[in-house]
Structure 1
Amino acid sequence: MAFKHVSLGRGKANIIHPLLNDTPVSNNSSLSPMVVSKKPIDLYNNIQISKILVHPIKSCRGISLQSCRYSPEGLEHDRRFCIIEAGSHQVITAREVSKMVMIIPRIKTDERSPHGGVLLISFPEDSGCESFSVPLYPVEEQWERLSDIALWRHEVDGFVCENQSSTGRSPSTILSEYFGRPVHLTVKGNKPRPCDPTVSFPNLKATALYQDGYPLLVLSEESIDVLHEEIRSRVGTQGIADEWSSQEFVIERFRPNIVLRGAGPFAEDNFEEINIGSDDDTEMIGEEQPGILLVSKCVRCLLPNVCPETGVRDKAVPYKVLMKFRIGLDHRNKMKPCVGCNGVPLGNGMIKVGDTVNVRRIIAA
């Protein structure tokens, strides 16, 4: 068994990736009406990337990066690993085990290593669990392959991770102690895991790793600013504690990948395709980076109620607040709130904090 390194070079602009659609989305009459522009839409001309977040292990602590490569399956290293029940092979998330957010993964790359580097995993000091590391891209033939990992309605593949060192306890043993029941750490194999079609993209043929549904999540800072105001205005009602009068609501609770600044509150709801990189970059290299399709709104559960620093679940914030003003946005889940948009890259590229974000397609009113 071998894990292939995915090529993440630059791609041509406006190319529809074969895993997405056989034809450009603007020519598909079954899609939502949209405005298409080869140049940035002037209404949104001051947008930048303010934060890049990668979550190497699903539902565990995220990592803030200054730059990151991406492929059609998402940001490099994002959700390539997950933790599963040892018996049923069901993926475990912080929805059920909130202290997962206290597990801290760190990526240490090494181009000289056949594994591309290691993933370092550490735990809270009071957990009694020791740190360990596993190869980023393992090549050992003896790793056990699982083909029936249960993630929502899909069966996905993965390999049970072994320790980078030949000594010490196995990752499964250490994590099982932390969870209080038998679990495994797995890394995604090479079998494609399809994404579900959406209302706007009924012919979607994208693939993802261990993400809930789609390769990327895009969210704007201003959306969280509005949510923060809504929370403070409701302190003392709906079970919202007094501490929210001064406590900051951090965007990391929503576990986005690409955070925007300058778009305006919930402006991402209107975007159909964005392109990252300035006109100066395009002139210098003679090509644009591939676009990112925003294929659907992100329907929210109770996971953002979990504080990423403490693992404590709030009884009301933000879910009860979101139910007051963010429902009815998803055709299939009208009574569930939505925050952020699910994205699918159209090719390979590189993003960095401070990059210009150009809006190429918007949904017509």
Structure 2
Amino acid sequence: MPSISEVVALFDATAIILLLTTVVVFVIPIFILFPPIPVERSDALRQTHTKLGIPASQSNLRTQTSPDHNHQPGKAPKIQSLYVYPVKSCRGIEVGHSKVLPKGLEFDRLFAFARQNPRATNAPLLSGEEETQPKKRPQWEVITLRQVPLLANVKVDLWLPDASKTSRQLGRVGGRFIVIRFPWRDSGLKGIIQWTSAKLSRGLGATPEKEFMLSIDFPSPNEIKAAGYHYEDTLFFSKSIHALNLKNEVPPELGVYLGVAVPISIFMVDPAQRREVFRNAPRKDDVGYQPVIDFQDAYPLHLLNLTSVRALESKVQKDENLKFLDARRFRPNIIVSGLKEYDEDDWRRIEFSQPPQSATVKVSGSVFDVSCRTVRCKLPNVDPATGIRHKVEPDNSLRKYRNIDEGAPKSGCFGMQLSPIFSKTDDPEDLELSLEVGMEIKVLQRGPHLAL
């Protein structure tokens, strides 16, 4: 016969079990209605959209240091990888194929972050400005990895509507969006919840992030007014760009993370007001249209040769902060393999086409004018994986071993700038080419270059 103490213990255990069961039954509906892990925008978009890009685990650059990418006699060089950068200087998106428009790859450099220019009022004149025609600098100036290396840690996801997906609550949802994410954790209890939520939702290696979403479809005048956007000038290098200011969309925490003490905004170029490219670019009289750009530095596309990357790497002084030279440091759109080192230096016109064995129907390739060499600044010193800027490399090696263009003395040149060539230019719908990983490269013309 059980003792009194054993009976009391049994009742206590039963009471505890009943209490816990009651709590669980009560809490589960609350968790369903008000989940402890915040619902991210990607969770909602996944119901109706598909995310653009190749997962990092399947990247075509996983083996970028392999000698298999070097020149091999009898084997055609090819496109190894393609990248777009929807927000200038932020993380790129690797794709398997892309449309090519007069402005370059689709979705490339649509947006750029800008900081308030502390010298906007009563500033000294820029080089080349007339003293007799003083003017104020723009209130904003575009920021890049050159000034703010932590932009490398700002991730960008691009979501496109998927006709095969339907949300039970929303039905089919259109629109194209980017979700911009950056590392962020609040202080105190809120920060602990954010840290826990990140681990539960994205794995033990995840860190808390803050995000915001933008449409990549340019807004109508009514939408601009309703959202409080406005057109404004922003300084881009030494030039002023008139673009749409979307300051209302940028959370103040981003400036804190980036270490920028002044207000930050994000700008979008109006597709009707893109900048025409001249300098070394082909002219309308010759190719039927004038190349244009959004927030690209100077030309629509940038090409990089993996074999050349490895050749430059052999000259670079490596250390703990630079163990190998990642091609992504140079922020190319088109990364090619199977060429001799620096073979691209004298290209003037090239064609990309499908390998003969993979093309069931003979189609013309995509032709590009190789407008000039890419004159490098110190931006490649920033590690694209960490946002840490190396003190000297690869800038030192570029200036020492790649000072090859008389138009850019004392500067290193690496990679090539391209402009697309369209076979028909009478109809805007004809101004489109396509590129795909695996396409073969044919050099149509070679000749000298002189940077302007």
Structure 2 length-normalised TM: 0.62
Counterpart Cα distance in 2 of 1:196 and 1:281 = 38
Match of 2:392 in 1: 316
Q: Render the CA deviation track for 1:325-357: whole Å, top value 9, x for unaligned.
A: 10032x321110000011111231121111112
Counterpart Cα distance in 2 of 1:104 and 1:338 = 28
Counterpart Cα distance in 2 of 1:306 and 1:283 = 40
User: Against the structure 1 CA distance between its residues 242 and 62, is the aligned structure 2 distance closer, same or farther, given a 3 Å change threshold?
Assistant: closer
Where does 1:10-159 land on structure 2 (aligned, <5 Å)?
A: 46-87=76-117, 88-110=139-161, 116-125=175-184, 130-139=210-219, 140-142=223-225, 143=227, 144-159=229-244
Structure 2 unaligned spans of 5+: 1-72, 118-138, 164-171, 187-207, 423-431
Match of 2:254 in 1: 175
Contact 1:218 1:259 in 2 (8 A): yes
User: Against the structure 1 CA distance between its residues 51 and 146, is the aligned structure 2 distance closer, same or farther, given a 3 Å change threshold?
Assistant: same
Counterpart Cα distance in 2 of 1:349 and 1:199 = 18
1:198 to 251, 268, 280: 280
Where does 1:1-12 land on structure 2 (aligned, <5 Å)?
A: none
Counterpart Cα distance in 1 of 2:448 and 2:280 = 17
Please provide the CA RMSD for this pair. 2.9
- Please state if 1:272 is matched with 2:348: yes
- 1:181 Cα deviation from its structure 2 partner: 2.3
Counterpart Cα distance in 1 of 2:446 and 2:174 = 41
- 1:281 Cα deviation from its structure 2 partner: 8.7
Match of 2:372 in 1: 296
Structure 1 unaligned spans of 5+: 1-42, 164-169
Q: Which amino acid aligns with 1:277?
A: S
More moved, 149-158 vs 89-98: 149-158
User: Against the structure 1 CA distance between its residues 254 and 242, is the aligned structure 2 distance closer, same or farther, given a 3 Å change threshold?
Assistant: same
Counterpart Cα distance in 2 of 1:266 and 1:114 = 47
Counterpart Cα distance in 1 of 2:270 and 2:357 = 35
- Please state if 1:336 is matched with 2:411: yes
User: Against the structure 1 CA distance between its residues 199 and 354, is the aligned structure 2 distance closer, same or farther, given a 3 Å change threshold?
Assistant: closer
Counterpart Cα distance in 1 of 2:421 and 2:295 = 19
Computing the radius of gyration from Cα coordinates, the structure with the larger value is 2
Match of 2:43 in 1: none
Counterpart Cα distance in 2 of 1:106 and 1:114 = 17
Match of 1:12 in 2: none
Contact 1:115 1:137 in 2 (8 A): no
Give every structure 1 segment of 4 or more consecutive aligned residues whose post-TM-superposition deviation is greater than 6 Å.
112-115, 199-204
- 1:261 Cα deviation from its structure 2 partner: 0.5
More helix by share: 2
Counterpart Cα distance in 2 of 1:138 and 1:295 = 29
**Structure 2 SS opposite 1:101:** helix
- 1:175 Cα deviation from its structure 2 partner: 3.1
Structure 1 length-normalised TM: 0.76
Q: Render the CA deviation track for 1:215-234: whole Å, top value 9, x for unaligned.
A: 10001000011011112xxx
How many correspondences in the alignment? 307
- 1:301 Cα deviation from its structure 2 partner: 0.6
Q: Which amino acid aligns with 1:123?
A: F
Q: Which amino acid aligns with 1:124?
A: P
- 1:241 Cα deviation from its structure 2 partner: 3.3
Where does 1:279-290 land on structure 2 (aligned, <5 Å)?
A: 280=356, 284-285=360-361, 287-290=363-366
Match of 1:241 in 2: 319
Counterpart Cα distance in 1 of 2:303 and 2:379 = 17
- Please state if 1:362 is matched with 2:446: yes
Q: 1 or 2 for the larger relative contact order (CA 8 Å, sep ≥6)?
A: 1
Counterpart Cα distance in 1 of 2:173 and 2:268 = 16
Counterpart Cα distance in 1 of 2:298 and 2:174 = 27
- 1:84 Cα deviation from its structure 2 partner: 1.1
- Please state if 1:252 is matched with 2:328: yes
Contact 2:348 2:447 in 1 (8 A): yes
Q: Render the CA deviation track for 1:258-298: whole Å, top value 9, x for unaligned.
A: 00101211111121111111364997555414411110110
- 1:69 Cα deviation from its structure 2 partner: 1.2
- 1:65 Cα deviation from its structure 2 partner: 1.1
Contact 1:200 1:295 in 2 (8 A): yes
